[in-house]
Amino acid sequence: MASQRASRTASLIASRAALASHASAEQVLDGMRKLSDIAPAVDTIETTEESTAASRLAFYLTFSSYTVTSSIVVVAGVVLSTLNKPDVRRRQLAAPVSSWRMGFESIAGCAVLALGVCAWVALVGIGASGAGALLSSAGAQVALAIASLCAFALVPLSLAYTLAQCGFREKALNAIANLGGMIMSFLGGAWVPLSLMGANVQAVAHFTPTFWMYDAVTCALGAQEVNASVLATVGIDLGIIALFAVAIVSAGLVAARLRVREV
């Protein structure tokens, strides 16, 4: 350490002498003495085990946006695309059940699968991040964070429905799920903090549901208590996520209507 400090001091003296070529040796050394008298301000931030566990859980849930997106799009998409095959579709139309009911039951079944994925991700996240103690001291905050993840699952579920209605099959669903999941998780701040990104990337991130899920999760787990302000912030974020899902599923309903006419 002493040798490194001496080497750094010598380097600074040489740099100052090069910049102030007309200054004498005494003036250069005097300037270095003044700089060495400046003491940097150091603050110590104490962290608790609960705050550390909450931050780990927040990071895990944010990064899990890729897992949730890829798994739900593939699983639900394959199920729905199988039900949309021409032969299966004709048998369904011949059954004494309305198309709306069949569609609703299909989506409801896929929603159960989506909830299963979210439950598994949440259980693994709580166990891996050591956030089990938070369930007793900050159970409401953890519940809000998991609810944010479940609300986000509506987006890949609606995307799977729309892609299936557009005729995409397993290989295309796998490609879209993986690429889309990686892009959305990146723009949500899972890979690199958005504060390190440029203004253009941050602006684009606002148009992705992962950004609002990240905001909801960090707001919930970073709160000391659940109050009206926290509920309002998380509620707005979840509302925006729901709007993404509604917009995507609306396109799927249009595609489904066109497919019925073709059949």
Give the pLDDT confidence score for residue 127 in this predicted structure: 86
Kindly report each contact of residues 190-193 with a partner whose C-beta sits within 8 Å and lies 24 or more positions away, as own/partner. Answer: 190/59, 190/62, 190/63, 190/65, 190/66, 190/214, 191/63
- The tens digit of pLDDT for each residue in 135-162 reads 777 888 888 999 999 999 999 999 998 8
Q: Which residues make Cβ contacts (< 8 Å) with residue 16, sequence separation at least 6? A: 28, 31, 32
CB 149 within 8 A of CB 66: no
d(Cα 61, Cα 231) in Å, to the nearest integer?
Answer: 19
Question: How far apart are alpha carbons 28 and 136 in whole angstroms?
Answer: 62
Residues in the chain predicted with pLDDT less than 70, given as ranges, are: 1-51, 86, 88-89, 91-100, 103, 259-263
Whole-prediction pTM: 0.74
